[in-house]
Amino acid sequence: MIQILRYGEMANSAVFSRELQNGGLEEKVAEIIAKVRAEGDSALFRYTEKLDHASLEKLEVPSSAFEEAFSELDSEFLAVLEEAAENIRSFHRQQLRGSFVLTEKPGVILGQKLLPLARVGLYVPGGTASYPSSVLMNAIPAKLAGVPEVIMVTPPSGGKIAPSILVAAKIAGVDRVFSIGGAQAVAALAYGTESVPKVDKIVGPGNAYVAEAKKQVFGQVAIDMIAGPSEILVVADGKSDPRVVAADMLSQAEHDKMSAAVLVTDSQELAEKVSAELELQIPLLPRAEIARESIDRNGKIILAADLSLAIEIANEIAPEHLELCVDNPFEYLEQVKNAGSIFMGKNCPEALGDYWAGPNHTLPTLGTARFSSPLSVDDFVKRSSFTYYTAEALQAVAKKVACFAEHEGLLAHARSVLARLDEGEADR
């Protein structure tokens, strides 16, 4: 049964602070990474057979597998995938920005140039569930950014990758796919093997082993984020439908036993009705056991004096997904400061964002929305600045630059500037 609490009865910042048990994970992942670095492909074959129960002849998925996947996929779902991909492209295309050049001062040219990362690795979960949505959300921004090569890794279930995953990869523009998963796949992307090329950045969700592996290889490569279990916070007024609010909360609770679903409302009546609806709806779910534990362990209903305070509570919690289930959501949008993705009004379930609307569903969790953002085109580019001064332009500022350098005690810095002046000017 979900807890109903009045604001002030608990530390709100602790709502999503779920303690994740390590259980020796750090050491296990370190060992896997070391084995892959030392043994390359042979370690990948061995781990794939041991952990994914798949005996492979080759790690890379051949082109014939993509053709077969298209023939196996339901035509209706194929059309849905293609339309969802176009929605995602349309949204992320607006994030593109170019280089710039400044020539405001005589003799001075300043600028910034944007370059795509050369090669990106995309991890896609496999096993008991397949998530083609993750393929679209991660690969499409990378290709829009101009990344020449996107390498996808995903564990084979029973020796085979789900057709929907391969079709989504082709639609999104993924260049190569490898049948590997877990920490060993992350290690292969970070360090390279005989078959798997080394990448510049690893993105995409995964289990605790994948998250730990990404953490350990960070620095060798870039990563998108260390994502925790999924979470949703619904701010709802007293006129909201309790059946709908409960359904939205369960849409995240069914993900994982560590997922969190929270309702913040100004209505005691709604709180009680949502609690009752959760009890009615949980047993109907195929993943009822997972949803049950998620709600019992991490679910909360928080009563606030009014909706403005409800938004303040949401800002303090900084949820991954925030639903504003109110009649006039745009009246409250300006008040929202910390949230990964915001769903506006009573006709906007979070599932729209997971699959269809266009904004990215790779989002900051565990309160990190206070300082980080959803995955975007910006995650797949790097910026270089450039500076050009004529001799006359340098002459005009050289002594000021030298003054600054000497103030910091860096005489060689100062001399590197003054050495370019006329001989008489350089004497100080």
As annotated, the active-site residues are 320-321
Put the strands of the sheet holding 176-178 in their side by side order.
Answer: 176-178, 149-153, 119-123, 201-203, 222-223
Please answer whether residues 282 and 288 qualify as being in contact, where contact means their C-beta atoms are separated by less than 8 angstroms: yes
Residue 270 vs residues 238, 266, 284, 333, 422: alpha-carbon distances, Å: 6, 8, 21, 22, 79
Question: How many angstroms separate the CA atoms of 358 and 88, rounded?
Answer: 4
Question: How many angstroms separate the CA atoms of 391 and 133, rounded?
Answer: 55
Phi, psi of 109 (to 5 degrees): -125, 120
DSSP 194-250: SSSPP-SEEE----HHHHHHHHHHBTTBEES----S-EEEEEE-TTS-HHHHHHHHH
Which run of H or E residues covers position 123?
strand 119-123
Residue 379 structure tokens: 């995650």
Question: How many angstroms separate the CA atoms of 162 and 159, rounded?
Answer: 10
Q: Which of 156, 298, 98, 122 is nearest to 224 (CA)?
A: 122
Q: Which of 241, 181, 170, 230 is nearest to 209 (CA)?
A: 181
Q: Which of 245, 299, 226 is nearest to 4 (CA)?
A: 299
Torsion sign across C-alpha atoms 265, 267, 273, 275 = positive
Q: Which of 238, 76, 60, 79 is nearest to 161 (CA)?
A: 60
Please answer whether residues 403 and 411 qualify as being in contact, where contact means their C-beta atoms are separated by less than 8 angstroms: no
Residue 60 DSSP label: B
Estimate to the nearest angstrom the gap between the alpha carbon of 387 and the chain centroid: 33
Question: How many angstroms separate the CA atoms of 134 and 361, rounded?
Answer: 8
Please answer whether residues 229 and 260 qualify as being in contact, where contact means their C-beta atoms are separated by less than 8 angstroms: yes
